[in-house]
A = this chain, B = another copy of it.
Amino acid sequence: MAVKDDVRCQIVDAAKKRFSHFGYAKTTMAEVATDCAMSPGNLYRFFPGKLDIAEAIATEDYQHHLDQLARLVSVSEKPARERLRDLFFQELRRTYNKLESDPRAYEIALIISRERPEYANWMLANERKILTRLIEDGQRRGEFAPGNADYTAEMLQSATMKFRYPQLWSKLSLPKLERELEGVLALVVDGLCTRLPCPDAA
């Protein structure tokens, strides 16, 4: 099995080179196979199809991103409120910069989100787990109101949809997106209703 993983790795590496050089569409399976010194047919013993290779590449990168988010949340000296802000800003900036600076990544993101909508759901679910942990922590500290943390996380994600795949929908510049995210988070955290000053824990 370990050897099989090595080959998968080799394929992913070869594809990564090709994709970043010529793009996903202009890379053929035959080329990737040749780079790996194997036949095209053999690729299919390691990946169900071309898109799955692209997914593997994307996921490798995404894992780093997820780790980073998890790390932000676990800086437990900071108030939950600030960590929440860090989380969403990190998410926005990394996605924006990635898609902005790398047209190849943009191409692949576009294709995956069209052909594999469940992939986006999977990412959302991963991030929700982290978000839920943060909310639970905030509740434990008395910063956030008690309630179903997972449900709250879902609603938070729903309210910040616009900032998740910035350039796939909105065409806004990063500064404008940041300004809006700031505002939305303030709204969501403090609420619209009149409130007496927060009995800040900590």
Q: Which residues of A contact B (CB under 8 A)?
A: 81, 84, 117, 135, 138, 142-145, 151-152, 154-156, 158-162, 169, 171, 180, 183-184, 186-196, 198-199, 201
Contact = CB atoms under 8 A, between A and B. Distances in A.
Contact of A194 (B158, B159, B199): B199
Given A156-B192, A158-B183, A189-B192, 7 more contacts: A144-B193, A145-B194, A159-B160, A159-B188, A187-B188, A191-B191, A196-B199
A187 B162 CA distance: 17
A158 B162 contact: yes
Chain multiplicity (copies): 2
A171 B118 CA distance: 12
Given A183-B151, A187-B155, A194 B162 contact: no
Interface on chain A toward B: helix, strand, loop, or mixed SS?
Answer: helix
B187 A152 contact: yes
A198 B193 contact: yes
Contact of A81 (B171, B193, B199): B193
A162 B186 CA distance: 19
Contact of A192 (B161, B180, B188, B194): B188
A171 to B, nearest CB: 8
A135 to B, nearest CB: 8
Contacts of A196: 195-196, 199
A198 to B, nearest CB: 5
B143 A193 contact: yes
A158 B145 contact: no
A199 B194 CA distance: 7
A169 B168 CA distance: 10
Contact of A159 (B81, B142, B143, B187): B187
Among A142, A145, A151, A187, residue most surrounded by chain B Cβ atoms (within 10 Å): A187
A158 B184 contact: yes
27 contacts: A135-B192, A138-B192, A143-B193, A144-B193, A145-B194, A151-B183, A152-B187, A152-B192, A154-B183, A155-B180, A156-B187, A158-B162, A158-B180, A159-B187, A162-B162, A187-B188, A188-B191, A188-B192, A189-B191, A190-B191, A191-B192, A194-B198, A194-B201, A195-B195, A195-B198, A196-B196, A196-B199
